[in-house]
């Protein structure tokens, strides 16, 4: 009975990394479920993707080697900069 579930479950992967989720969605994986919740002041996300061809690991490597990861890091840095900088009124 357990083996009957494994192939079906293996076709679905989850991530809470918004940048990676956007990347793999752009690369063609279909979103099956998207959840948003608030933890304290932080908003968190979880995405479930259908991965019938088992592309997840390769896409993870592609993302790590892409400019998308660099872009995401820059966006995070800019957000922190704005959060840490007091408004000067101008």
Contact 47, 31 (CB under 8 A): yes
pLDDT recorded at residue 8: 54
CB 78 within 8 A of CB 58: no
Locate the domains of the chain by residue range.
2-84
Q: Are 72 and 19 in contact (CB under 8 A)?
A: yes
Instruction: Yes or no: say if 59 and 16 are a contact pair by the CB < 8 Å rule.
Output: no
* CA-derived radius of gyration, the chain: 17
Q: The whole model's pTM is what?
A: 0.76
pLDDT digits (tens, 9 = 90+) for 33-61: 999 999 998 899 999 999 999 999 999 99
């Amino acid at each position: 009975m357990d083996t009957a579930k494994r192939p079906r479950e293996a076709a679905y992967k989850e991530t809470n990394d918004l940048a990676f989720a956007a990347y793999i969605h752009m690369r063609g994986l279909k979103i099956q479920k998207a959840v948003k919740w608030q933890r304290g002041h932080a908003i968190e996300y979880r995405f479930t993707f259908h991965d019938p061809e088992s592309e997840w690991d390769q896409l993870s490597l592609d993302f790590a080697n892409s400019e998308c990861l660099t872009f995401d890091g820059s966006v995070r840095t800019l957000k922190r900069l704005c959060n840490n900088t007091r408004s000067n009124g101008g």
